[in-house]
Amino acid sequence: MEKKNYVGFTKKQRVKAALLFQKIYKSGRSVVDSYGVFYILPSTDGQGKIGLAVGKRIGNAVIRNRVKRLMREVYRTNQEKLSKPVYIIWVARQRLANADLPTFERVFNRLAAKAGLLKGK
């Protein structure tokens, strides 16, 4: 059986610090969609990172955690498509609460293309 190249998602790829979140919000540029918002800032350490923001308006804890899991999975599987390392904060909107995985992928790719982050675009 052929082994697929697994692209992981480690803790080093997450934006966790509140100060970095605030820096990306204030200094970064934003790309808006009806399903979410990307806040983007060029990476200072040469590695891309993502932070997820899912507010309480989205739903209860079970729904919010499901949305975050799907967002992480989409980033994990599509991060090799990004042309350069950037810090991204992906803010979910209400419409993602009941969305399926292909919808999350379409949203990620659409926002990344709007921001000019995809290779060859």
Q: What is the CATH number of the domain that holds 71?
A: 3.30.230.10
pLDDT of 2 over the 60 cut: no
Asked whether residue 73 is domain-assigned, the answer is yes
Q: What is the pLDDT of residues 6-16, one digit of tens each?
A: 667 788 889 98
- pTM for the model stands at 0.88
As a whole number of angstroms, the distance between CA 119 and CA 121 comes to 6
Number of structural domains found in the chain: 1
- Percent of the chain having pLDDT more than 70? 93
Asked whether residue 3 is domain-assigned, the answer is no
CA-nearest of 48, 53, 65 to 22 is: 53
As a whole number of angstroms, the distance between CA 11 and CA 56 comes to 24
Asked whether residue 119 is domain-assigned, the answer is no
Range of the domain at 104: 11-114
Quote the pLDDT of residue 120.
74
Asked whether residue 24 is domain-assigned, the answer is yes
Q: What is the pLDDT of residues 22-77, one digit of tens each?
A: 999 999 999 999 999 999 999 988 889 999 999 999 999 999 999 999 999 999 99
Asked whether residue 76 is domain-assigned, the answer is yes
Quote the pLDDT of residue 70.
96
pLDDT of 121 over the 60 cut: no
Asked whether residue 42 is domain-assigned, the answer is yes
pLDDT of 3 over the 80 cut: no
